[in-house]
Amino acid sequence: MNEMATTVVTAGDKAFAWGALLLVASMRRNGMRHPVVVGAMNWPDSMKRRVEALGDVKIHDLPLSRQCVACQKPMLMACDDVKTDWVCWADSDAVFVGNCSEWLVGDDLEEIVVRKYDPPPPLLTEERLAIWRRDVEKLCGTALGESRLGNTTVNNPFIVIHRKWRPFLERWRVQTERVIAPDVITPWQKGSAYFQTDESVLGSLLCFDPNAPRVVERYKANGSVDKNRYFAHFAYNPKPWQMWNKYSMKWHDVVAPVAEWLVENDIVKAGELPLPLRESWWPVCRAAAPLAPWVWRAMKLKRKLLG
């Protein structure tokens, strides 16, 4: 297999530590033995130890003073702990279903594996594309006149790129530090030209940087090639380890076996699992799922009010 050809990189703040644990556990459970690098912002030691117990995992502590965790993607993907020919970014709100090793290397060194938005996101206006182009020109000294991606951009919970593109990852890192405010801590910034922070910056480079990799035509990690082997990304809040909701309920059957595997392999004791990951709580969680968005908003509001 190609396991030693790719390093899997992920990251999360404290709220995503359980997500990262599930992600890496899903790899090991499916026989994916790739080296892993995890960016951990403000994690308790117990969670670091659990992820490390999965083997061949390097933890990078991310200082709280940094921009949002997602903005650390290019830095982590280009870090010296990535020693393989390829690097795969995988969001920590996701699991691998089946053995996905095949999707973790590209078919062509000149391409980046990342998914195009189709249809284009409504927030990507012509004015914003013009700002992207202007900023890329400032970074690179030159920029393409026409976007390579037309009027769309990319969605980046899953990326595969060859190490020969490290200078490109470095430009992505530098540009993220330049165009995203230092105090941005959440990835959604609707009012900004870079409305999805790191993801928008990557998009801007793929559109206008003359020396960027080509975006792969066919994205295969979503089950389009094999519906039994895919990257399952939990796009909406709350996340499955926090509270099940009507969007995420469909992922119960892929998440539950991973949580169970963690217990069977003594990485986690059954009583340490968050309630939504305990099978005995599933009937309650399922019944409460339609209310989850309201409960979640109320909890956020309470946190805001009480500091």
In angstroms, how far is CA 229 from the centroid of its own chain? 18
Nearer to Mn ion, 19 or 133 (CB): 19
Smallest distance from the beta carbon of 93 to Mn ion, in angstroms?
4
Stretch that binds Mn ion, among 3-11, 43-51, 132-140, 157-165 (CB under 5 A): 157-165
3 is a site residue for Mn ion (CB under 5 A): no
Smallest distance from the beta carbon of 277 to Mn ion, in angstroms?
18
* Angle at alpha carbon of residue 217, lines to 219 and 173, rounded to 5°: 75
Nearer to Mn ion, 147 or 155 (CB): 155
Q: Which of 191, 194, 216 is nearest to 203 (CA)?
A: 194
CB–CB of 167/69 below 8 Å? no
Nearer to Mn ion, 13 or 91 (CB): 91
Residues 54-93, mask of contacts with Mn ion (x by CB under 5 A) = -------------------------------------x-x
199 is a site residue for Mn ion (CB under 5 A): no
CB–CB of 241/19 below 8 Å? yes
Q: 118: burial class by Cβ within 10 Å (0-12, 13-18, 19+)?
A: exposed
Distances (CA, A) of 289 to 15, 23, 245, 259, 296: 19, 22, 4, 19, 11
Stretch that binds Mn ion, among 21-29, 152-160, 196-204, 287-295 (CB under 5 A): 152-160
Nearer to Mn ion, 39 or 157 (CB): 157
Smallest distance from the beta carbon of 91 to Mn ion, in angstroms?
4
Buried residues in 69-93 as b, exposed as e (16+ CB within 10 A): bbbbbbbbbbbeebebbbbbbbbbb
Q: Residue number with the shortest CB distance to Mn ion? A: 91
Token digits for 222? 């979503």
- CB neighbour list of residue 54: distance below 8 Å, 6 or more residues apart: 21, 24, 25, 27, 28, 36, 267
Smallest distance from the beta carbon of 68 to Mn ion, in angstroms?
12
Q: How far apart are CA 141 and CA 151, in angstroms?
A: 23
157 is a site residue for Mn ion (CB under 5 A): yes
Smallest distance from the beta carbon of 90 to Mn ion, in angstroms?
9
Nearer to Mn ion, 19 or 98 (CB): 19
Smallest distance from the beta carbon of 235 to Mn ion, in angstroms?
6
Token digits for 65? 């003073």
Residues 93-122, mask of contacts with Mn ion (x by CB under 5 A) = x-----------------------------
Token digits for 290? 């339609």
Smallest distance from the beta carbon of 292 to Mn ion, in angstroms?
17
Residue ranges in contact with Mn ion by CB under 5 A: 91, 93, 157
